[in-house]
Amino acid sequence: MVDRRELAACEDVVMFVNAAVTSTGQREFRDDAETQRLSVEFLHEYVLGNYRELYAATLALDINDFNAALLIRNLLENSRDLTPQERRREGELIARRLELMAPQRVYKLFRELARRGVNNRRTRAIMRDWTAQRRDPVFDAVKYRTGVKATMRHAHLAIPGETGAFLFTALRKVPVFTTPLYENWRQAHYAATALYKLPYTVAEGLASKHGIDRATFLAKIAPQLTRLERLRLQGAGERAKVGSVKAELAEMPLTRLASYVLSLSRAERTSRYDELRHALTVAAGRAAGNAAGSWGRVVAVLDDSFSSYGSVVKRQRPLAVALACRYLLKALAREFTGLWTSGLHDPLLVRPSGPTPLGERLIDALELAPDRLVVVSDGWDNSPPGLAAEVLRVWRERLDPDGATTVVHLNPVYDADGFDVKRLSASVPTVGVRDAEDVPALIELARFAEGRTGFAELRGYLAARRDRFPIGKVTA
């Protein structure tokens, strides 16, 4: 029998993990950005104050960069009463998470720490060590100039070579740089030909200054583009008839690829049908890895209702997660059936539309008696309201009390009012999902959302994830 206090603590931590996976502080379909931000910041403060050890341990989970940055900021800002051992353990987790985060996110975090006056010895050491292990500091100085300047100032770091002059001296006062990339940057302010040797994000602003048209700029900057920049710019390149911007779709991460597919018109998806289906299948197989084909008979209920549009800043993100999950689950399953709430049969042609008849689709799914039933939805069952919860209750209590069919609800949308992702039923575990690639790990976490597992087991799970998390080095 699970103690009620342990159960409440377990629910608190799982609730926080769900938020840290899904919430990005941006506008959602039902919540504005300010509501999202205030809700998740309150949740961070609550869990930090009550479960600090577990709060830090979630850095080893598949949380998003927005929450990882907020978590690191809170740990560094509130560290006065820690023991040396606790300081070292947290510092190692922070160092490793920073290695995994996008550099622009890290520099934004460092700028925020500087703005808030967080300048303790541990913070300076973390900044110093992360900066020291960057493979190309000259590239960073050019691409992330504002962030590098703030970091150097705040942590009082030694500035090598010409970097100090590049960062802190007015352009007109430097006649020439001997470092090639710095000199290209200097020349690009005066001669358009030099900007094509710069990183895309830096060159883009200078291209506007020189009045270069978009097609010409994309054609010449193509060799400098990263894989993700190619994917993001492929549509612009096609409109400008610039073939050199084309991305290798099958090499892209699955959920990003699904977002790209949904950004295309239905006519484009139809004309490129075989190419897009092949790319999604290959990406899903790569994400499934050695687990491919090991999940038995799987049925997925996938939400393509109007609310799956998301918002103007997260356009079709919930639908992209559902589409990516559909291909990943098919790769993981021995036998697979995907049921969209709209009744559509072709996944490549899905679009956000109509109500959310989850209850009807769950009946269709359970009639197939799968080994696993996975629901990917924001949890707003409204056609009719409450039918999904009732179907799941009756199924679990009367038709399948022994749990022959495993049911898990994956929710890609944070519900700010509930401080969690919205659940379909108390009898079914619900976990937050941001990227389909994380689904196998999230299925493992789902058992702690059922209310049948104690706090000790959750501590053990987080400790095991922390132990499997390659530790970064902090010398302070």
> Which of 232, 249, 266 lies at the terminal end of a domain, its last residue?
249
Residues 311 and 244 in one domain: no
Tens digits of residue pLDDT in 426-458: 888 999 999 999 999 888 888 776 655 667 788
Domain assignment of residue 107, yes or no: yes
Q: Who has greater pLDDT, 430 or 4?
A: 430
What pLDDT is attached to residue 346?
Answer: 95
Residue owning tokens 């291909």: 327
Residues 192 and 213 in one domain: yes
What pLDDT is attached to residue 247?
Answer: 61
Residues 140 and 214 in one domain: yes
Domain assignment of residue 467, yes or no: no
Domain assignment of residue 157, yes or no: yes
pLDDT band at 11 (very low <50, low <70, confident <90, very high): confident
Residues 64 and 182 in one domain: yes
Residues 370 and 446 in one domain: yes
Of 53-67, 172-186, 201-215, 243-257, which range is least confident?
A: 243-257
- Which H helix or E strand runs over 57? helix 52-57
The CA distances from residue 372 to 44, 284, 346, in Å, are 33, 18, 21
Domain assignment of residue 459, yes or no: no
For 353, residues 6+ apart whose C-beta sits below 8 A from its C-beta are: 304, 305, 306, 342
What's the mean per-residue pLDDT of the chain?
Answer: 89
Residues 411 and 429 in one domain: yes
How many structural domains does the chain have? 2
Residues 416 and 354 in one domain: yes
What pLDDT is attached to residue 92?
Answer: 92
Residues 96 and 219 in one domain: yes
Structure-block tokens of residue 78: 């509130």
Over residues 281-297, mean pLDDT: 95
SS3 442: helix
- Which H helix or E strand runs over 210? helix 200-210
Domain assignment of residue 475, yes or no: no
Domain assignment of residue 291, yes or no: yes
Domain assignment of residue 272, yes or no: yes
Domain assignment of residue 74, yes or no: yes
How far apart (Å, rounded) are the C-alpha atoms in residues 415 and 425? 15
How far apart (Å, rounded) are the C-alpha atoms in residues 457 and 444? 12
Residues 220 and 285 in one domain: no
Residues 289 and 229 in one domain: no
Structure-block tokens of residue 291: 């687990």
Over residues 242-265, mean pLDDT: 82
User: Which residue segment(s) compose the domain that 354 sits in?
Assistant: 257-454
Residues 373 and 286 in one domain: yes
